[in-house]
Structure 1
Amino acid sequence: MKHVHRFKARVLKRSDLPSGCALETQSQSASVALPGSAEPPAEKNGLFKLAESKPASDLSGSTSFPVDIVAVHGLNGDAFSTWTHKPTGILWLRDLLPSYLPGCRVYTYGYPSKIFSQSSERVQEYALNLLISLRDIREDSENAKRSVVFICHSLGGIVFKQALVTAHQDNHLYGEVLNSIIGVVFLGTPHRGSTAANLGSVCGAIVNTFWSTASAGVGPRTVRTDLLNNLIYDSDALQDLAMSARVRLGSISVVSCFETEPTPPLSSLIVSRASATLSLPNEEPIPMSEDHKTICRFSGETESYLKVARAIRRIVLQSSNSSPALKRVSTHSSTLVLSDLERTCMTLLNDHDVTKDVEPPPKPVPGTCQWIRGHQLFIAWLGKSSNALLWLTGHPGCGKTMLSYSLAQYFEDARAKSSNVLIYLCQNKNKQTDGRAVLIGLILQIIDRHRSLIRHIRAAFEKQGSSIVQSFASLWRIFLKVTTDPKIGPIYVILDALDECEKVSCHQLLISIAEMLAEPPQSIKGDSHIKFLVTSRPFLYQSYANSQKALQSQISIDDDQTGYTEDLQTFIQQRIHEISLNRQFSSEIKDFLCQAITSKADRTFLWIHMVLASIEKSLLTSRKEFQKIIAGIPEGLAEIYHRYISAIPEDHVEDASKLLNLLLACSRPLSLNELNIAFTMEPQHTTAEDIIQDTHNSIAHTVQGILGSLARVTGQQVSLVHQSLKEFLLEQDPEKAKDSSTIRLVNAQKSALQLATVCIQYLLLDDFAINFFPTCDSPTTAAAEDTDFLVELPMGDFKGDFWEQGDLDLESDVLFREPGAQHPNICDTVVSDYPFYTYACLHWAEHFSMCEESAPDDLQDAAKSLLDNNTANCRNWLSFYVVRASTLIEGDLADLDPLIVASQFNLSTALDDIIRTNGPDQDTMNQSLYWASRLGHHRIVPSLLAAGADPNARLIEGQTALTVASEHGRISCVKALLVDIRTNVNEPGRAGRTALSFACGVGHGGIVKELLKQRLCNAGQPDNAGATSFIWAVGGGHHSIISTLARLHSININHMDKTGRTAVSWAAGDDMADTLIRLLKLPGININAKDNKGRSPLSWAAGNGCVGVIEVLLAHPKLDKASIDNDKRNAISWASAHGHYEVLVKLLKAGCPGVDAEDIDTWTPLAWAIQTDSPDTVQALVSDGKVQLERSDGGGRTALSWAVEYGHVEVVKVLLRAGADPCTKDVRGKTPSMIAKEFVRDNILRELEAYGAY
């Protein structure tokens, strides 16, 4: 409330203003140069030139930056004060930036953004005037070719995005300006706005009213509520602008700087990272240790200033390939970019990682699981220096998982040189049934150990975006990249219970592993071999042993293995010892039990566990009773389960059925608290307190007393004793189970219905009938507190200038805080008070969708009420879901139409009822179809199409239902959409890509076949970048799809995209040797095709360090080894510039010409290698014998001269050993020694003097 009271106090101080203090009025665009120390002009609206620095001298060797930099201020700022550090008077755009970027020109743009203003102009007009001003100054032919970079603070970013959209819409007027824009740096721009802006708008309206009645005779000072309205959180205007600008921003460099410090006197951030960033693939977020005021004002060359200046420089350098005026590209990528992409990629993978709820197995009894270490096959497998696989098979309950975890620990401990031990447990009950999930889990584990390998994920992400998680082929390629990296060393991959993986993707995984193992040993780089250890039931092994030689090495765990039998005996002895201590059995009974159970030691661990559990639970403890228990337990697990279930007393049948249904249906292991609530809940309970009053005081005792050995309690979690029990229950035919009342009451449908009922009833408790989460319309907690002062505002004179005074000036940015910032804390509070809320929120719809057709009417009505966002119960669970769920669903679910929510959560019956009763509008229908298609809800798609949803409507990111279904691999939805005659198979989606393009890029072969069956499908249709489906298939490395497309007459395998690159060029540049081999076998393929910059596939492979690709290309008889690009650079030059030593050696060995050739800037490969500070590369070049060490470049300087100035001491040593003259003078008359002294490089000076320098 402190800032609210300050607001009230300062408003009360306002006095009548003198007539001379009229507000600024907008003028036409201006271009006025501001002298270095001159005062800002009185006119502050328009475009002003702040500075123009001279280009770097050609002789200096420095980089010139012939670029225009345009700064756009924010709300309540102006063209000059926004960028000025008041204590020092430094206007950094004028005083610092020009010297950092020689050759640049700096402009600042002003517009009427004051909160108290007469202006009626809108953001659209500000943007239009900005475009007009830029167009006018660029009509001078001298300026027309200069690139433009924008710097935008706060609202200025909104103005810039509007200008970008307007320029696209009016391309005939502003196309030249648009094409010149190469990047933007956002400084605290609230892209999503804030609900607090609602407060500002209301306050502004009140102040306007007061002012009109209390300031007679004074010039009107109205509050610009229109500007505030533009910033309301998730307002329609902001959402529309974000959608329109997103694609435009994708074609330029985007840097988003966000504050990390609160702006005094506030205790929270004005613009959070979530609002200040756009989540674009090409975006570089940069945290700034500044608040919202200081993020755009710098006192000198501070760390924050340098972050911004370097970001601008990177933008200019990165665009230099497309701008002939910019040269000397930096060869090093920004660590900040890598860091951000690492976070982005890790978040993407983590969201799809289903191992978070893995229930670890019990620790093995000491002394067990060690026999396998002495097995001959295990020793042979472990000793191989190449990739290898060992398959451990065993029947259910034999201890495979326990053995897997024991071996993982053994590898970690005994083979300490390798920290690369990866283990994945394919537990069906936790939905880990997909080969893609297996790969994601493994990739995450290895990236967690070797963070630098994120570059392999980044490369895939930059090409395919988030769709990489939908493609097995893409994930497998990433897995190969990270596991075969030469720096990583040996890896142990343990895949446990692989038989529980989904059949199709399990086959893909095993075949991929087999192909990898079949590769010749010489293809392994360094010591990076992989050892696979797979465990499964025998049937899976038998399916592959005969056809895949690489998968034949097998140990049968429970097939007469001496060590396994000994483990069983050790396990029996240990457990009987524990039971005997607890029950105080005599040594005689203890020995009897050991002997009796050991005599049946040919059984499984699970069988023995259940026998011992029965003995431990038995109330009768005579020898006779124990003999009866041991003799009465059947040999097979199915018979054991049937016996235990049948033995449940009649008075506990209903309770047992309820518990089994809950444990059978749950999507993850339930906690004891969760199970207690779910088991206790009845229809008469209306509050959480009602339920707590009836819960069981010892639920673990209750579960074990009713279910006995059928359930396992581990810590605070409870689950079925084994996966085989779940299979047993699901395989039973209730009609045939006449002798078991419990079995008749347990099946998949009933279990889903029971858990759905409990979840829905819980979410509809009276406790949740009030809004927990603040909304735009119903602010709560702090937001509500902020509005308390509105009713207290007095009618009277306003004295002073609230918005512009002193240190408390917040530039109105208190308005930019988001309500969602409070949501995680609210969720934590809800979970602590309501332990079942998390499970109910995240899983109720999943369970209900499985049983809604058989659900009673009252449950269906209850479910529909949870889709009605007019109720607090609905809004609460949706808001909670957004915060806590890992989901593809974006945006604020609580504001969506019930039909859209039903489509997102696959509630087909509810959806049909909503269509029938509500008659939704066309846009709602289209959005629902989009989400159903994207999420793979194929039952819903036909209903929406039949109701009139448009399959060709372009929605989020311009995607249609067909393109988004194809991208995410939803083949059933694709088939349903294609049945509708209205569906345009060639309708473009994001970036102009068709459904076929997305399917080819991600590798969904089944969808590709379905699309190609369509008579009108245009397989060769290019996207906005000119790339065809064939190029996308090549980029994804999907070989079967490549073969399918190459056979089509409509496919041009040498098609060039808008940059002139072909499929071969992309495969070469992306280090896809295996794909390139296949491409070069296609008749008519062009191995030497040059792109718009004249670069050939060889050039791209050399520049990107693709050793494998270089070998493939050099072996081809039609390769043009002498190819040069438009800048006269050859493959040797590109390899040298990036320090790719291995590539360079192969090029030189193959006789590629041009080792000493000059490029268009008179730089030789040696000059590039020196700049990169790559002594090995320099050594390879000078060892060739054809390099002229004393050659001078265009600036009259030798290679040694440059190496000394760069400070690259190791390169200097190489050059001196090769015979470089340390006494040669450049055109300035300076010797290398003089340069070393000038830059105080004493270490280099000593090296030079050792070779006779003076």
Structure 2
Amino acid sequence: MWRHALKTGPAFSTSEQAFLKSLSSTSPYGCRFQIEKPLPGTLSWVFQNPEYKEWISSPDEPFLLITGYAGCGKSVLTSEICRSLEEDLVPGTLLCSYFCDTNNEHRPEMSQILKGLIHQPLVGRRKLFELARKSIYSLSSEPYRSFGELWNLFERLVSYPQVGPVCLIIDALDECEHKDVEKFLDSLHPLLRSVEGRLKVLLACQPGASVVNVVKGYVQDARRLRMEKMNHAIAEDIDELISQRVDRMVKGERCGQSVGEDLKSVLRAKADGSFLWVSLILSLLQQRRGIIKKSHVDAATAKGKLPDDLSNMYERCLHAIPEDEWEDARQMLRMLLANARPLSTSELSVLMSMSSTSLSASDVLEADETTNVVYFEGMLGPLVRMSEDVVMLVHQTLAHFLQAQQPASMSNATCFFTASEQSIHFEMAHNCMRYLLLDDRIPASPSENSLFSDIEESSLGEHASPHTSPEPGICDPENFDLSSLFKEDDDPIANELQALADRKKLFKYAARYWTFHFSRCRAAEQEQLSDLAMRLSKLESCSQWFSYLIMASQDVRKFPESPDPLVLASYFDLSVVVKRLLTDDTGDFNLGISIYWAACRGNRSCLEILLASGFIDAASAHHKSVSSLAIAACNGHLDSLEILLESRLFDINGQNRQGRTPLSLAAGAGHEQVVARLLKEDGIDVNLADTHQATPVIWAAASIESSTTTLLLQHPHIDQSMQDSAGQNALSWACIAGRARTTRSLLKDGRCDPNLQNHKGKTPLMLAVSSESLPTVQVMTRHRDMSLALQDRSGRNAISWAAQSPDPRILEYLLLHGGATFADVRDHDGWGALAWAVDPPAKLENARLLLQHATADVNVPDANGRPILSTAIEWSSMEIAQLLISSGVIDVDQLDRNGRSPLAYAVVQGYTPLIVQLLTQDPSRADVPNHAGMTPCALAMEKGSREICEAFATASTPTL
């Protein structure tokens, strides 16, 4: 479906490829590559615009806002900037872009944007997988990825200095939910400050969008390119567009020269800065059959003048559709309005066939084999655009126009094409449901092995990242990766399902989205569809589509196992079906599991029906030891939680296999409102620990939502002295997870010991360093009682741990804030911080920083009697070895306990450039013998390569 797909090759491991796939169920760039390219000779002005030039060239200008009204070419301009930057960026600069698709009724999701922004640097900088392996592993183990977890990983990726400069471009961010936009910008602002000029951000939106005000609140002098005020430049581009398009019409003999000139004149006079408007007029004219005459131009510009707004323009386009094609055009527009994702031409062909009143299976199967692209374009003309194999509305304003309340001035013809949200979903649900019920051979259910082969049980290790939750059932219904997910030849049922999906063109869409459309219908419409829904809920009918969903999701934990019809209906929020099954059907249904899955998915209407159905055994409403109340709390479904609490069926302090209560699960997931509601319950134990002795407040400390921790800290019975089985308190967990805000709150609260050492002797500061979170390290270091001198059970201090971090900013900060004194303190193996910087993989920048603060103690050998230079050479850290030699701080001639010199180590390792460097400084080093009497020169003659021997000969020592 999208062109710039992930090209996974030998460079990526199997687990890395799987993680990248999980981020890219749609294009990681959004709809960028569906945007039309600008015509030659247009948009060049933007690269000379002073706002743009200042933003791109000045390190002190992190933000550029591009604002413009719908239809002015804003997305095309932003896409052209991306293309230009890809060609001209300074080497080493990483470009991350995302273009929000605004042509569907569903707002772009911030989680999908972040997935795309994470996907791009991981593919563009292979080494990031190594640097961020801990965070990636933690995120990979989560079935549901919250904004916080996704942002945390993105922030970490772009914060690594090794990444270099980053340019972030997002188009149509204002199309997202307002609260999500604010959350994104709230997170972006501190990131911009922390990376100190390495990150540039370009956001494109409409002039009145909240994005503008939020950005201005953070960066008052943020650069802003106002397309709404670039009338002259845009007019010139529109003039070029008109000239090229009309000249092409004349050359193609669609109109005569004089008509072409007339058309150019009227378009230039009335364009009013709208590329979209001009394109619609031209497409409307080209839609006509035969030669375009002046009368046709006059008809397109009826009422004496060209329409001065898009609503009038859309009305003209609709009126241009031949009356005998109205019904088909109406159906097609309604499908494009209702789609849950862009439809392929083949899917739209099948849906059009499904809309026929004389439907037969053979007709639909024939539509599976034919796709009439010309038919779509010919009928709707300028109202749609085709991108590769996808059909979309020409612009989001068309969707708004077709679904707006009908004004009195709207013609009857136009009213015919308008539609309410519920009615369009009714038609889509109806068509998808009928399609899934077409006769075809139904394969057996997938084998249990195929469903569980890739599912591994996760458990919390002593120092595992505390925000990795082992709980099942957290489900993201919009996160299905439907491309290339089936294992070839692993399971014949999986292969058969894939073949079915390939053969029946609408199957993937219908299987995935029929319940989505059904749930958005009015109650009366759901009643009309209830017979079909009942049939699709039966085991014999659901085998195909439900099995396909499981296989496509690659995570069986999202779905009930072998569900009966009631469980299935409860899972997909088919309340009409639930009611009918409980009243009309005498089947032996699993009421308890139905309640569990309704709670898991937050399906309140189903829960109310299920709980009112009669006697319920609360013990049966558990799944893998997790109660319905617990899963509702875990997933943040406040409405469902209220209903379950009112039922009084579930123990408020009930624990799952890991010992976690509903409060613990909600706190760990950062659901502040759910936590607040649970705290109102009488008898709730706010300190009840799990099997690892972690309390709810400890879990909350690891959550991305610091407000949840703040809420718990206000409870009078919270015990902050409690520690988990590893000897860690809430502050320790906040530092492990890199939660700077929560860390600040806990330190301000004052009840957590900032120097608490866990069972391995690690302090919260050491844990923050290991989490690679500079903001958290900064918060800890500023606390008056925090001690940098403390050592863990292996003798390592915070500087030692920072020396091993892939982020040199952490070490630099600690060295500048009291840590330099402890840089050469030795651990139990005799290693100072510099040795840990040498430890593979070597950290060159960390070594450089430590040498700036080194004392004479840096030359003290380790417990094995080996000097630091010899250690670097033996561990193949060539760059660090060269740095040590040239530093003037390291004793280059220091011998180990066996009398071997660094030069001898270089000979053994075969490092010719290093040998040349050492001999050039002092040729006599070739003759220093070890305790066995072997000199480096003799060692070279005995074991060295030809190049090494030549290096010794060139040094012209007396021996040679």
CA distance in 2, matches of 1:956, 1:1124: 44
Whether the aligned pair in 1 keeps the contact of 2:426 and 2:518 (CA below 8 Å) is yes
Partner of 2:160: 485
CA distance in 2, matches of 1:364, 1:669: 23
RMSD: 4.2
1:996 aligns with 2:663: yes
Partner of 1:757: 430
CA gap 1:1165/1:1139 in 2 versus in 1, 3 angstroms: farther
Partner of 2:602: 936
The amino acid of 1:486's aligned partner reads: P
CA distance in 2, matches of 1:763, 1:708: 31
1:905 to 541, 559, 572: 572
CA gap 1:1178/1:401 in 2 versus in 1, 3 angstroms: closer
Partner of 1:402: 76
What SS is found at the alignment partner of 1:495? strand
Matches within 5 A, 1:799-948: 821-851=491-521, 853-855=523-525, 859-869=529-539, 871=540, 873-885=541-553, 890=558, 895-918=562-585, 924-947=590-613
- Cα deviation for residue 385 of structure 1 reads 0.8
Provide Cα deviations, 1:910-935, integer angstroms capped at 9, x if missing partner: 1221222345667x323323323333
Partner of 2:342: 669
Unaligned segments of structure 1, at least 5 residues: 1-334, 780-816
1:592 to 259, 262, 265: 262
Partner of 1:498: 173
Aligned residues: 868
So what's the TM-score if we normalise by structure 1?
0.62
Matches within 5 A, 1:356-435: 360-386=34-60, 388-415=62-89, 417=91, 418-427=93-102, 429=104, 431-435=106-110
The amino acid of 1:657's aligned partner reads: R
Whether the aligned pair in 1 keeps the contact of 2:66 and 2:225 (CA below 8 Å) is yes
- Cα deviation for residue 564 of structure 1 reads 0.8
CA distance in 1, matches of 2:556, 2:217: 39
Matches within 5 A, 1:435-514: 435-454=110-129, 458-460=133-135, 466-467=141-142, 469-514=144-189
CA distance in 1, matches of 2:667, 2:26: 22
Matches within 5 A, 1:1112-1191: 1112-1135=779-802, 1150=818, 1159-1160=827-828, 1180=850, 1184-1187=854-857, 1189=859
Whether the aligned pair in 2 keeps the contact of 1:353 and 1:440 (CA below 8 Å) is no
Whether the aligned pair in 1 keeps the contact of 2:595 and 2:621 (CA below 8 Å) is no
The amino acid of 1:576's aligned partner reads: V
- Cα deviation for residue 600 of structure 1 reads 0.8
Partner of 2:743: 1076
Whether the aligned pair in 1 keeps the contact of 2:874 and 2:909 (CA below 8 Å) is no
CA distance in 2, matches of 1:1076, 1:898: 47
Partner of 1:654: 327
- Cα deviation for residue 644 of structure 1 reads 4.1
CA distance in 2, matches of 1:387, 1:994: 48
Whether the aligned pair in 2 keeps the contact of 1:660 and 1:746 (CA below 8 Å) is no
CA gap 1:339/1:674 in 2 versus in 1, 3 angstroms: closer
1:691 to 364, 381, 385: 364
- Cα deviation for residue 1175 of structure 1 reads 7.5
What SS is found at the alignment partner of 1:712? strand
CA distance in 1, matches of 2:407, 2:368: 30
CA distance in 2, matches of 1:404, 1:678: 34
- Cα deviation for residue 400 of structure 1 reads 1.9
CA distance in 2, matches of 1:344, 1:464: 12
What SS is found at the alignment partner of 2:228? coil
- Cα deviation for residue 1210 of structure 1 reads 6.8
- Cα deviation for residue 674 of structure 1 reads 2.2
Whether the aligned pair in 2 keeps the contact of 1:423 and 1:495 (CA below 8 Å) is yes
Whether the aligned pair in 2 keeps the contact of 1:670 and 1:719 (CA below 8 Å) is yes
- Cα deviation for residue 1078 of structure 1 reads 4.1
What SS is found at the alignment partner of 2:169? strand
1:570 to 225, 234, 240: 240
What SS is found at the alignment partner of 1:1121? coil
The amino acid of 2:583's aligned partner reads: R
Partner of 1:1048: 715
Partner of 1:534: 204
CA distance in 2, matches of 1:1175, 1:559: 49
Query: Which has the higher mean CA deviation after the structures are superposed, 1206-1215 or 851-860?
Result: 1206-1215
- Cα deviation for residue 458 of structure 1 reads 4.6
CA distance in 2, matches of 1:888, 1:551: 50
Whether the aligned pair in 1 keeps the contact of 2:74 and 2:204 (CA below 8 Å) is no
Whether the aligned pair in 2 keeps the contact of 1:514 and 1:551 (CA below 8 Å) is no
Partner of 1:627: 298
CA distance in 2, matches of 1:819, 1:580: 56
2:652 to 969, 977, 985: 985
- Cα deviation for residue 596 of structure 1 reads 1.5
What SS is found at the alignment partner of 2:23? helix
Query: Which has the higher mean CA deviation after the structures are superposed, 537-546 or 597-606?
Result: 537-546
What SS is found at the alignment partner of 2:385? strand
CA gap 1:528/1:547 in 2 versus in 1, 3 angstroms: closer
CA gap 1:933/1:348 in 2 versus in 1, 3 angstroms: farther
CA gap 1:427/1:469 in 2 versus in 1, 3 angstroms: farther
Whether the aligned pair in 2 keeps the contact of 1:569 and 1:601 (CA below 8 Å) is no
CA distance in 1, matches of 2:661, 2:829: 42
- Cα deviation for residue 539 of structure 1 reads 4.3
Provide Cα deviations, 1:109-140, integer angstroms capped at 9, x if missing partner: xxxxxxxxxxxxxxxxxxxxxxxxxxxxxxxx
CA distance in 2, matches of 1:1105, 1:1111: 11
CA gap 1:419/1:396 in 2 versus in 1, 3 angstroms: same
- Cα deviation for residue 726 of structure 1 reads 1.2
Q: Quick check: which has more Rg, 1 or 2? A: 1
Query: Which has the higher mean CA deviation after the structures are superposed, 603-612 or 980-989?
Result: 980-989
CA gap 1:454/1:1026 in 2 versus in 1, 3 angstroms: farther
Query: Which has the higher mean CA deviation after the structures are superposed, 535-544 or 351-360?
Result: 351-360
- Cα deviation for residue 563 of structure 1 reads 0.8
CA distance in 2, matches of 1:856, 1:1102: 55
Partner of 2:463: none
Task: Considering Cα pairs closer than 8 Å and 6+ residues apart, tell me whether 1 or 2 has the greater RCO.
Answer: 1
Partner of 1:723: 396
Whether the aligned pair in 1 keeps the contact of 2:803 and 2:846 (CA below 8 Å) is yes
Provide Cα deviations, 1:837-862, integer angstroms capped at 9, x if missing partner: 22222222222222273337674212
CA distance in 2, matches of 1:1204, 1:776: 54
Whether the aligned pair in 1 keeps the contact of 2:700 and 2:708 (CA below 8 Å) is yes
Unaligned segments of structure 2, at least 5 residues: 1-9, 451-486, 930-960
CA gap 1:463/1:645 in 2 versus in 1, 3 angstroms: same
Whether the aligned pair in 2 keeps the contact of 1:638 and 1:728 (CA below 8 Å) is yes
The amino acid of 2:156's aligned partner reads: K
- Cα deviation for residue 1250 of structure 1 reads 1.0
Whether the aligned pair in 1 keeps the contact of 2:254 and 2:292 (CA below 8 Å) is no
1:641 aligns with 2:314: yes
So what's the TM-score if we normalise by structure 2?
0.79
Provide Cα deviations, 1:1206-1242, integer angstroms capped at 9, x if missing partner: 566777774897575968674xx66558985996768
Identity %: 26
CA gap 1:889/1:949 in 2 versus in 1, 3 angstroms: farther
Partner of 1:246: none
Partner of 1:206: none
